[in-house]
Structure 1
Amino acid sequence: MKSLDRRDFLKSLAVAGAGVLSPAILNAESKVHAPRISPTLANQYPFFGIHQQGIATPAQKHIYFLVLDLHTSSRAEMKEVFQTWTAYASKLTAGENVAPYGKNLLVPPKDTGEADSLNPYNLTLTFGVGASFFDKLGLKSVRPKSLKDLPHFPRDQLREEFSGGDICIQACADDPQVAFHAVRNLVRVARLKVTMKWSQMGFNSYEGKETPRNLFAFKDGTINPSANELDKVVWVKDGSWLDNGTYLAIRRVQMHLETWDRTHLKGQNDTFGRMRDSGAAYGKNEEFEEADIEARDENGERIMPEDSHVFLAKKTGIQVLRRSFSFASGVDSRTGQFDAGLLFISFQKDPMQFIKIQNALGNVDRMNEYITHIGSGLFACFGGVSKKNGDYIGRALLG
């Protein structure tokens, strides 16, 4: 007879032992499994609405971004997954567990529990799908022509492990454990249908309504479209399954902090085309004053360097909605330097908005001396979900 390994032995003991337990023990209610306490629900973002939250929503302080690959080619199975994710997401963003604790103590709880007693901390969950999602589910005929892998940009050094993917889940909250708890439970319930490809935790720090600073100490995301400009810049309005949705471009950008720290302050300002302390563009006094790339000094020379980040981006005349987060993931074993950088995220109604800006930066951008793009992805983020008629994430696509 083949000998049992330790795991099989323990499993056999559990099965054998269960048969002698009394019904009273099997159905006993746990005294430590109290209902989840949500002391403060102020400013929570409901999951249901015309658009998904986490896009035009004011950026929270933490993100857990996860990319998944399909482990099935069944449209029906993925429909079931998205239906379940909808039910879970509506509870998680409301500060509830995905399911209450059961009475049987010998069954694993449906909710992993690390957010028990925590309020939702403005949690938002945003879902998107990549081009490969359509290929694997036989949906090529309804894949938007714009949804394809981003092109290779100048200076890209992309790593396969940080690129592409079938599905993305963006969880943002003002508490990192709340964000992770949400993603963990969404993945857990879909384990047989999806596998994790890559993930990244990130953070923003700011006081009040100030613009967050990136790890180069410059304010990041100063110029974003106003609420009145979102239809023009962000939301898809074409009557398709993507109506009221948008495209999410993500880039994992490694920042070479040691090189940056050896650069004098004027060189840092010249790189961005902004003043590090105030965030004001060259030639301006306040952060939110619109940059004038044509402004000149008394000698007729341009005030803003023509290879600065702001000059090159502004010259395109194109807008996107930036929603980026910094990350610090320990030490890069290959270099002995910080593994740190920017999880660049932008939302736009047409991927060409991002592509044209990135191509304009190209080899010219002075910033290239200090950063390397090592990850890349493009996802179509569904429109919002209605509370009525059994709606769920992606229903317009999956039926």
Structure 2
Amino acid sequence: MADKTDDVTKAPEASQGTDGRAPSRRSLLGWGGAGLALGAVAAGGTAAALRVGNDVQPAGADATAGAAVAFHGAHQAGIATAVQDRLHFAAFDVTTDDRDELIALLKEWTKAAARMTAGDAVGDGAVGGLAEAPPDDTGEALGLPPSRLTLTFGIGPSLFEKDGKDRFGIKDRRPAALIDLPQFPGDNLDKSRSGGDLCVQACADDPQVAVHAIRNLARIGFGKIAIRWSQLGFGKTSSTTPDAQTPRNMMGFKDGTRNIAGTDTAALDKHVWVGDGDEKGKAGWMAGGSYLVARRIRMHIETWDRTSLKEQEDIFGRNKGEGAPVGRKNERDEPHLKSMLPTAHVRLAHPDSNGGVRILRRGYSFTDGTDGLGRLDAGLFFLAYQRDVRHGFVPLQQKLSQNDALNEYIQHVGSAVFAVPPGVRKADDWWGRELFA
């Protein structure tokens, strides 16, 4: 990627290997087999962006084209951060049974993530190092700015226990809020698009930057992890800057009008960030983190497109043009829920209908070609962060799955839940350290 000239506070990045010694370039070439320099990022000497504080920023503060979003902080970037336009989300299976290998991978991932979000190449880059060996960086982001890239890391239930086995000695550290999601009415889940031991959410304003990030993390993990499933997304369907223009989903309706703002620290503390006392005992490592639910929602586009405008608006409880609630003039007018149909989506999902429950949404539209009948495989890749899945997504989805008129036009076909640890606070910290400490 291009060198950066934006004003970002920086700190030197550690250049030692996991044993405290600086590994040689030649020794690194033997780590991954087939010449893959899996640990080469440890030898990088350029600085990584360092944030003091958390990832809450003023609306639009990181919206400058090509700017870098600081990687370090109390919370992971990519949650309350102003939502970027593009997504590459990947869920991984851990294929090694060695705890030390997994920890080493997480350290290497963290170093690589800090470099890529700052706009730097991985390791010695795409053209540096030995000509006889594969480059450390795949190179497709050469010359591109950071594009507000954020990388958000999560841990799935199956990393703690799988088939009754305590895989890495962390079974008793699984948070109580990291539940296995129940089967909801109408679910038609594809196992190959669900679950995962780990996840990384890459968001950026340039799709090539986001794809580059996931590609390089997968490459670094060769032999230790494998991509279980992934999803590309475009055209954010929710915003953490609700004072800005509200985006539209694939059904043509504005989405995220009442989403939690990235600047609303009180709402974030109440509904998104895990509190110090939320997880007792050995799961206290989640304080400052959050819980992510990812759902791939297929939209029956062709059926929706043949539905009358009035019916579409009744289903959502908003008009299609302005986005105003039924009986109101402006999009952000307070909705009068009783004026909507009992099955209207807005009425059922509104906090006033759910005891004040709120979640932070970061959804994206997707279009993955067509199916065997020529219908668009398109819809919403739903991403929701919350303080506790048991009191956030689960009760909301239980209500929506049973009563929402929108269910005639959508179907949940993929699902996963992850614990998203707190942020990496300093240059020598790493993803998941609190869990494995």
Is the TM value for this pair above 0.5?
Answer: yes
Moved more, 67-76 or 265-274: 67-76
Query: Quick one: distance in 1 between partners of 2:396 and 2:116?
Result: 36
TM-aligned CA deviation for residue 341 of structure 1 = 0.7
For 1:268-307, list aligned pairs within 5 A.
Answer: 268-294=312-338, 303-307=339-343
Q: Structure 1 98/41 Cα, relative in aligned 2: closer, same or farther at 3 Å? A: farther
SS state of the match for residue 133, structure 1?
helix
In the alignment, structure 1 residue 309 sits paired with structure 2 residue 354:
no
Cα offset for 1:391?
1.1
Kept in 2: contact 1:250–1:376 (CA 8 A): yes
Match of residue 210 from structure 1:
245
Determine whether 1:74 maps to 2:92.
no
Moved more, 200-209 or 174-183: 200-209
Give deviations 1:116-142, integer Å, cap 9, x for gaps: 000011000000011101113231101
Q: 1:154 aligned to 2:185? A: yes
Structure 2 equivalent of residue 175 of structure 1: 206
Q: Deviations over 1:97-130 (max 9, x none)?
A: 0123334211110000000000011000000011
Contact kept in structure 1, 2:196 and 2:228, CA below 8 Å: yes
CA distance in 1, matches of 2:379, 2:297: 6
**1:140 paired residue among 158, 162, 171:** 171
Counterpart of 2:156 in structure 1: which amino acid?
A: G
In structure 2, C-alpha distance between the alignment counterparts of 1:376 and 1:274, rounded to whole Å: 27
- Residues 129 and 381 in structure 1, CA contact (< 8 A), matched pair in contact too: yes
Residue 189 in 1 paired to residue 220 in 2? Answer: yes
Decide which of 290, 310, 318 is 2:357's aligned counterpart. 318
Q: Deviations over 1:149-179 (max 9, x none)?
A: 2110111111111111111110000010000
Aligned equivalents of 2:136, 2:333: Cα separation in 1: 50
Which segment drifts farther, 130-139 or 57-66?
130-139
User: Which one of 366, 375, 399 corresponds to residue 360 of structure 1?
Assistant: 399
Q: Secondary structure at the match of 2:402?
A: coil
TM-score under structure 2 length normalisation? 0.78
Aligned to 2:414: 375
SS in 2 for 1:241: helix
Cα deviation, residue 364, structure 1? 1.4
Residues 195 and 210 of structure 1: is their aligned pair in 2 closer, same or farther, counting only changes over 3 Å?
same
C-alpha contact 1:75 1:398 (8 A) present in aligned 2: no
1:1-399, aligned counterparts within 5 Å?
Answer: 43-100=67-124, 101-135=127-161, 136-204=167-235, 209-226=244-261, 227=264, 228-238=266-276, 240-294=284-338, 303-314=339-350, 315-316=353-354, 317-333=356-372, 335-352=373-390, 353-387=392-426, 390-399=428-437
1-side partners of 2:129 and 2:177: how far apart?
Answer: 50
Tell whether the 8 Å contact from 1:82 to 1:392 is kept in structure 2 after alignment.
yes
Percent of aligned pairs sharing the same letter: 47
Q: What is the deviation of 1:363?
A: 2.3
1:133 aligned partner, one-letter code = L
| Residue aligning to 1:12 | none
SS in structure 1 of the partner of residue 130 of structure 2:
coil
Q: Is the 8 A contact 1:130 1:148 kept in 2?
A: no
Equivalent-residue separation in structure 1 for 2:207 and 2:298 (angstroms)? 21
Structure 1 residue 42, shift from structure 2 partner: 5.3
- Counterpart of 1:212 in structure 2: which amino acid? P
Structure 2 unmatched ranges of 5 or more: 1-45, 47-63, 162-166, 278-283
- Structure showing greater Rg: 1
Where structure 1 has 5 or more consecutive residues not aligned to the other structure, the ranges are: 1-34, 295-302
1:41–1:95 Cα contact (<8 Å) kept = no
Residues in 1 aligned to 2:248 and 2:201: alpha-carbon distance in whole angstroms = 21
- Using the TM superposition, give the Cα deviation of residue 318 of structure 1 relative to its aligned residue in structure 2, in angstroms: 1.3
Distance 1:342 1:192, change over 3 A: same
State the TM-score, normalized to the length of structure 1: 0.85
Q: By how many angstroms is 1:292 displaced?
A: 2.4
